[in-house]
A and B are shown apart, each in its own frame.
Chain A
């Protein structure tokens, strides 16, 4: 057994216990989708459009079917599947519903869109078959940017969406916005306007998407083993598309090699493969290759913000106005819709600041690019970038220190209800900022920065303060007017005759260590050793419904459901124990060590084994009215507006004016995610998120040529940072326990990604402050820096410099 870790007063929660997931993954004995081999299994590959926008005039699969090894090939007409349609309960002026066919029908809407499906005896032959297919298209003119989407007479990506707009919502417009701007102009304050943009990124889980589908005659069921964060949602969408009762689809998820949000929506390829497996009565596998993942997988992040803000002479923000445009690509994702990004941005843009007046318009546009899905952070990296740039710009205008202007504006009294009608629960907005700044000051980075400037070197310090709403309950999603409303989660816990428990959760682990952290929570609640708790998830047959894992909801919502189920099981154990001990139920309690003890006589005790033995094997000894079996189910939904984790990121960078290269010299994160269940895991989530945020700030971007060809189809073109680009990162924790969750935890999965882009960009601008250059767009490639310096007529230096 794992030795007992005394995290806090002998509890499992709070201790960095060894991860239960590790031994199998380290031995190469994890089981990922592509590891599954079934007898008679066929392999699928997709014929994909090479044209970004075109009318399909013909699909010829004759040569495909003649390829050695090819078994069958299908077009949309052959499969007759229902489209995927994601909906919002909003009027047409605000939201235009559009359909995503499983395979393209009359037209193609992005280069990479699946047009036909080839099934063969092995993947090599399937690809040969794809190669032989001939798809004829009449080009319709590609929409590749906001400008081309809005151009007069522009082609329409979806005929039903005029102006290529899918979502157009003006969520807030308070009465004093204009007056506040006038007052700022008149009264010695300032008005700043900043246009920020962020590039299109791929969430890029290292394991691509994949599915193995087979028909199980025994259960009269399609068994779909696949790589998804949301198995129940896939089951629902798949059953609807296949037009079969939901009970005939079972979705299971083995180990998953990351998701980061990209796998929290329903993909069309998996449905096509499942349909073919059902049709052929044979197992069919499809594993997305990297080229497909980069060009036809769900993308994210491409957004533009025009933000204006008014400040009074004391540096306090008096009004905020924003126009947000999110490029959602060719299709609305299921179930979140194209509204997920602009609605998130509109609702939460005031961030950690006390903004009294607020006006915002959020739009989602459709273009001929691969569609987007939520990606770790969902709009928050973008609106935080916008408002943090606004803070920096105002600080410059007013001659204030960038930390000081934040200090004057952050929310300090809780609970705080913002102009956006959201109530923020207590956090450490001010404290995290103070600690982050003190860290860099104590380490001497300000002297290093100033000394470097004197020697003509460009070192800068940047900050980013933010909060992240986590534990979105169904209330928060209902406010968005989603017709599919995620929010609650369910957990079931069952004890066997040996006193061990199996916990089933509706969440889905893809790297976040649920098998360990959720087990820690249960072990503490029941007083079990960690080794007596086994977590199961990722199987639609094991729990009625679950919303899976996204939006940092697993420990907050899933963990709370698990806690409640454990408490109910605890009550059952106490009821039986009281009967066995011959005392009243109010005279017993769990003893924290695998048993129930009599309160007034602690020498009298019943172990879980003894109670379980009675519950299952000698049920004639049960008290009257108590059913045999020890199992409990509970659900949990976060009340109110959810809970807010927060953090300050502090970064030191050096910009090399000779090469344009940005090097990160120091990265410090001070974060508050409430009660920390497993410190090592939380640190890991922070660092991994920050690495992805740095990737967005400096490296990764998928651009499109005018004809809609994507710029990145391999890792040669899509630059994922490696160990030499990501610095060591310190993570400090402040802990404000959350009152809304059963375990005091707030979400910890996304923060890193949210804070890094703004912090890095602010640091770059600080490094270049003497040159007059100011950058508001990510990623900052070396060429971006050089071009900006050239435009500002700053001479380049010959040699790369190194820090002192």
Chain B
């Protein structure tokens, strides 16, 4: 149990060192070792999605990954969204559409949607509904989350056509 590993994690573009037991989850390291508490603990068995982060661009349950497994990867958490104190377009859409109430599941939904839209920028409403069914929300009834993600997809599409998209177009699928 006392066997510990010194690891280096690349989170939101910065490198962080952590000394961890092999059983320590990526979620706990992000939250409690690195102080990135935006990512939330909801079930610790990979169902609720409150801990969703992007690992090499893919939405991943941080509770199902050991921190030692994440060493060579690029990790993005909710703290990476938005710039200069401004909300990102996706965050703003959640606010505009009342896509959050208590806000506990919200970082997980934001990262899920961010990862999904990067892969499926033209996704329609039903496809978005299907995708976000990966995460649980207990407050909203989901409709306004679908609204927020759909609105973001639509506005990014328009912006892409106009050449002003706030999010760089990603490589389609890895």
Contacts and interface: CB of A to CB of B under 8 A. Distances in A.
Nearest to B88: A26
A724 B107 contact: no
B101 A124 contact: no
Contact of B104 (A258, A512, A714): A258
B38 interface: yes
A680 to B, nearest CB: 5
A68 B3 CA distance: 12
A680 B32 CA distance: 35
B160 interface: no
B14 to A, nearest CB: 15
Interface in B46-83: 47-48, 50, 77-79, 81-82
B103 A287 contact: no
B32 A37 contact: yes
Contacts of B106: 25-26
B136 interface: yes
Contacts of B47: 714-716
A160 interface: no
Contact of B21 (A32, A124, A724): A124
A519 B138 CA distance: 25
A32 to B, nearest CB: 7
A257 B95 contact: no
Given A27-B79, A690-B141, A32 B94 contact: no
A35 interface: yes
B143 A726 contact: yes
A684 B103 contact: no
A28 B79 contact: yes
Contacts of A526: none
B103 A21 contact: yes
Contacts of B23: 124
Given A28-B79, A714-B45, A687 B144 contact: yes
Contact of A206 (B98, B137, B144): B137
B66 to A, nearest CB: 12
A355 B129 CA distance: 44
Interface string A489-525: 0000000000000000000001111000000000000
A183 interface: no
Given A68-B1, A728-B143, A688 B138 contact: yes
B117 interface: no
Nearest to B93: A26
Nearest to B132: A723
A290 B44 contact: yes
A18 interface: yes
Interface residues of B, number: 58
B91 interface: yes
A1 to B, nearest CB: 16
A31 B31 CA distance: 12
A797 B132 CA distance: 31
B98 A681 contact: yes
B32 to A, nearest CB: 7
B164 interface: no
Nearest to A35: B37
A245 interface: no
A680 B148 CA distance: 14
Nearest to B80: A28
B156 interface: no
B159 interface: no
B120 interface: no
A30 interface: yes
B103 A25 contact: yes
Given A684-B139, A687-B143, A690-B141, A26 B21 contact: no
Nearest to B36: A28
A257 B45 contact: no
A85 B141 CA distance: 36
Given A68-B1, A723-B129, A260 B138 contact: yes
Given A28-B38, A204-B138, A729-B141, A684 B101 contact: yes
B100 A206 contact: no
Interface string A744-774: 0000000010000000000000000000000
A29 interface: yes
A26 B98 contact: no
B154 to A, nearest CB: 17
A726 B129 CA distance: 10
Interface string B1-37: 1100000000000000000010110000001100111
Leading 6 A-B pairs by shortest Cβ distance: A28-B38, A257-B104, A25-B103, A511-B102, A687-B141, A715-B47
Given A28-B36, A28-B39, A206-B42, 19 more contacts: A23-B95, A27-B91, A28-B38, A28-B79, A30-B103, A206-B48, A206-B137, A257-B102, A258-B101, A260-B138, A290-B45, A681-B98, A691-B140, A714-B45, A722-B136, A723-B130, A723-B145, A723-B146, A724-B129
